[in-house]
Structure 1
C-alpha cells in the first residue's frame, strides 16, 4: 500500500483547530491566511499520499476562506501549481482579474506565486488536492506563468482522465507499493501538463515523451469506456484517436500486453468483479459476459478459464461461498 498520513483537527483542542489547519496548509501547499465562521471549533480532515515530489491530499473541510497574499508570497513560495478536484460542495475563487465559481466535478487551479482567495460554501467541502512542482511539468517554462487556467472541467477530455485517476487512487491504494509513488506522481504530472496544454491550445508544447504517455492514458480510458462493445478492435481504437494501427501497436510495446490482449484482459477483469458481487449473484453468467463484450458464452468460458484457471461458474461459486458469514452455532 502507498504510504499515507491522516490528519484531523479534532486531534487538537477546539480553540487551536483553525491555526492547526493553517499549519497543515503551509506544509501541504503554501503559507495561507485563514478565516472561518467555525473558528472556535473548526473541523477538517486530510489524507496525504506519498507520491514522491508530487503531493496528493483528499480533504473534507468546514466553511473557510483561504488567502494567498503578496506578503505571504514574498515570505515563501514553493513554486508549485495547486489543483483541487471538487467532489462535494462549492466555492468561489477570486483574483485581481477574475472570479470563478467551483462546483462538483470542477478542477480549481492556482499558482503559488500569484495572489488569490478561495471562499468555500456554507456546507462542508470534499476535494482532492494535488501539488505539482512547476519544475517537473514537461512544458516550456514561459508557457504557463500568468496564463494557467483558473478552472477546468473534469467531465470530459484530459480533465476527465485526471479526475478519474485521482478518484480511483483515493478510493483504493492497496494495489500499489510505496515504491510506486514516484511513478504515479509522474503520471499525474503528465496529465496536469496535458490539461494545461489543452486548455491553452498549445498541445504541441508538450515534450514528446509526455505526449506519448498522455496519449496512452487517453487510449486506455477510451477502451475502458467501450468494453461493452463486442466489435471493439485495435483498428477502432486507432481511428478514434486519429493514429495508424502500426503507431497504436508501437505505443503498447512497453505495456503489459498488446492492444487486443489489453482489451480482453480488461473485459475479463470487469466480468470477474461482477461474478464476485453478491448483489449480482442471481444475474446469469451469460448476461454478465454479454455486458462486457463477450456475446458467445463458449468463448467467454474458454477465455475466463485460461485467465483464472477455472470456469466462471466455479469461480463465482467459490468466491461467493468464501464471503458468506459463517452460520451462528446452535444452542444445545
Structure 2
C-alpha cells in the first residue's frame, strides 16, 4: 500500500483545528502563512500520498488564504513546483506581478521560490494538489518557470488526461503497492511536463525520454476525444501526432495490442456504458452503436458479445434488472 497520511478536522478540538492544519502544511511543504474567516471552527479533510519524491494532496477545506513571503522563502525553500487541480470551488493566485483566477476543472501552478498569495472562493474548495522537485521535472531549463502561473484547462487534451490520472489515483490508493509509488511519481511528473509543454505550445521542450514515455498516453487521450469521429483511423492519428504510421503501430505493439483493437475496445466500452444508463433506455441499440462508430449493427453485436459474453440486448436487460433489484 502507498504511504498515506490523513488529516481530518473532526479528530481535533475545534479551537485547535486551524493551528494544527497550519503546522501540518508548514511541516509537509514549507513555512507558509494561512488565514481564514473560519479559523475558529475550521473544517478540512486532507490526505497526503507519497509517490517517492512526489507528493499528492487530495483535500477539501473551507475558504483560505495561502501566503509565501520573501522572508518565509529565505527561511526555507524546498525548491519544488506545485500544480493544483481544482475540483470544486474557485480561486485567485498572485505570483509576483502575475494574477490569475482559477475555476473548477482548471489547474493552477506555483513555485516555492517565488512570493505568492492564493485565495480560495467563498464556498468550500475541493482539490488534488501535486508537489514535485524542480530537478525531477523533465523539461528543458527555464521552460517550466514560464508555465508557472498560467491558466491550464483540465477539461480537454493533456489536462484532461492528467486530471483523469489524478482522480483515479487518489480515489483508492490501497490497490497500489509501496513499490508502485516511485513509478507512479515518474508517470505523474511526465504528464505534468507534457501539460506545461502543451501550455507553452512547445512540446519540443520535453526531454526525449519524457516525450517517449508520454507520447502513448497523449495518443490514447487523442483517441478518447475522437471516438465518435468516423474518420478516426491509424493514418489520421499518426498524422495528428507528426509520427510515421509504422511508429504508431510499434507503440501499440509495445503495449501488447494494435491501434484498431484499442480503438474498438474503447468504443465498445463507451457503448456498454450507454446501454446500462437508465436515461438512455429508450435509445435504440443500433443508434448507440452508430454513435460510437459501429456502422453495421451485426458487426457491433458480434464484437460486443465477444467482449462481454452477452449480446447487447441481453446485456441491457440484465443491467436494468440488477438496477431494479438494487432500488428494491
TM-score bucket of the superposed structures, by smaller chain: 0.7 to 0.9
Give the whole-Å Cα distance in 2 for the aligned partners of 1:291 and 1:5: 44
Give the whole-Å Cα distance in 2 for the aligned partners of 1:224 and 1:158: 12
> Residues 313, 237 of structure 1: CA spacing in aligned structure 2 closer, same or farther, 3 A cutoff?
same
Spell out, residue by residue over 1:32-59, the C-alpha distance to the aligned partner (whole angstroms, 9 max, x if none): 1111111111112223344343222222
> What is the aligned partner in structure 2 of residue 313 from structure 1?
313
Give the whole-Å Cα distance in 1 for the aligned partners of 2:266 and 2:3: 27
> What is the aligned partner in structure 2 of residue 79 from structure 1?
79
Spell out, residue by residue over 1:78-136, the C-alpha distance to the aligned partner (whole angstroms, 9 max, x if none): 32211112223222222333222222233211111222111222222222211122232
TM (norm. structure 1) is 0.87
> What is the aligned partner in structure 2 of residue 149 from structure 1?
148
Q: RMSD value over aligned CA atoms? A: 2.7
- How far 1:202 sits from its partner (Å)? 4.4
> What is the aligned partner in structure 2 of residue 184 from structure 1?
184
> Residues 312, 145 of structure 1: CA spacing in aligned structure 2 closer, same or farther, 3 A cutoff?
closer
> Residues 47, 174 of structure 1: CA spacing in aligned structure 2 closer, same or farther, 3 A cutoff?
closer
> Tell me, what secondary structure is at the counterpart of 2:283?
coil
Give the whole-Å Cα distance in 1 for the aligned partners of 2:174 and 2:44: 27
Give the whole-Å Cα distance in 2 for the aligned partners of 1:309 and 1:194: 38
Give the whole-Å Cα distance in 2 for the aligned partners of 1:45 and 1:217: 31
> What is the aligned partner in structure 2 of residue 223 from structure 1?
223
> Residues 326, 94 of structure 1: CA spacing in aligned structure 2 closer, same or farther, 3 A cutoff?
closer
> Tell me, what secondary structure is at the counterpart of 2:184?
helix
Give 5+ residue unaligned stretches, structure 2.
none
Give the whole-Å Cα distance in 2 for the aligned partners of 1:319 and 1:63: 42
- How far 1:168 sits from its partner (Å)? 4.4
- How far 1:220 sits from its partner (Å)? 0.8
> What is the aligned partner in structure 1 of residue 276 from structure 2?
276
- How far 1:275 sits from its partner (Å)? 2.3
> Residues 147, 58 of structure 1: CA spacing in aligned structure 2 closer, same or farther, 3 A cutoff?
same
Residue correspondence of structure 1 range 121-270 to structure 2 within 5 A: 121-140=121-140, 142-144=141-143, 146-154=145-153, 155-170=155-170, 172-173=171-172, 176-178=175-177, 180-270=180-270
Spell out, residue by residue over 1:164-186, the C-alpha distance to the aligned partner (whole angstroms, 9 max, x if none): 4334444x448953354443322
Give 5+ residue unaligned stretches, structure 1.
none
Between 207-216 and 46-55, report the one with greater CA deviation: 46-55
TM (norm. structure 2) is 0.88
> Residues 195, 231 of structure 1: CA spacing in aligned structure 2 closer, same or farther, 3 A cutoff?
closer
